Homo-oligomer: A and B are copies of this chain.
Amino acid sequence: MNGNPIVEGFIEAINLIVTLNPQVVEITIRSLYISLTATFFASLIALPLGALIYFYEFRGKHAVISTLQTLYALPTVIVGLIVFLFLSNIGPLGFLRLLYTPGGMVVAQTILIIPLLMGLTVSALSGIDRDKRYTITALGANRLQTVVTIIAEARFAVMAGVLLGFGRAIAEVGTVMIVGGNIRGATRVLTTAIALNTSMANYSLSIALGIILLGVALGVNIALSLVQRR
């Protein structure tokens, strides 16, 4: 038995970062790229949808919100599997040839975090007080303008939701493993590398990669809060 893998993981993380290990740099950038892109597309879809759900009173609104909250519990493997079945050669979207590509991984993660982002957007907007809504309407905003204004106003809470979504995307392994295939040099990302190294008992390397992943998440977090504070 060699030393403590957690301590060694820290040392190794520092080592990998200092030496800018090209493989690690590559998969880190890929992770970031895929999860940021997925978060971006998911936000593009989920924020307006969430705002619409928040805005309009309709029958079954409560059920929709409950469903969204339930979908927080959607296992990543299931999402991965379903996306895989769609993108697979013989699946309905096989012709897109997205399976085992970063593009497919973006699709999978986008789908994975949409319910979360929608649900959190609804919650974030619910924090906006009714009089502000009335004010926006009274000022003559049309629907789109209303949605944009209200999201801008709740930007701190919405951003917290987006961050949570990004965190879920970059930390998850189920969908990217199934849809991406963890192909070295093509679709390997931090989490699949961690899973692989764990299965190979390279615990300290796993922990090192985990630390790098957290560092990346922290960076995104700080970057976003700087943007926000402007």
Contacts and interface: CB of A to CB of B under 8 A. Distances in A.
A198 B213 CA distance: 26
Contacts of A217: 70, 72-73
A166 interface: yes
Contact of A218 (B4, B70, B172): B70
Nearest to A71: B214
Q: What range describes how many residues of A lie at the interface?
A: 35 or more
A74 B173 contact: no
A126 to B, nearest CB: 9
Interface stretch (A14-22, A76-84, A139-147): A76-84
B221 A70 contact: yes
Interface string A84-118: 01000010000000000000000000000000100
In the complex, the count of this chain's copies comes to 2
Given A69-B164, A70-B218, A78 B173 contact: no
Contact of A78 (B69, B78, B81, B206): B206
Contacts of A216: 73
A220 to B, nearest CB: 8
A222 B66 contact: yes
Interface of A: 1, 4-6, 66-67, 69-78, 81-82, 85, 90, 116, 123, 127, 157, 160, 163-164, 166-168, 170-174, 178, 190-191, 194-195, 198, 203, 206-207, 210, 213-214, 216-218, 221-222, 225
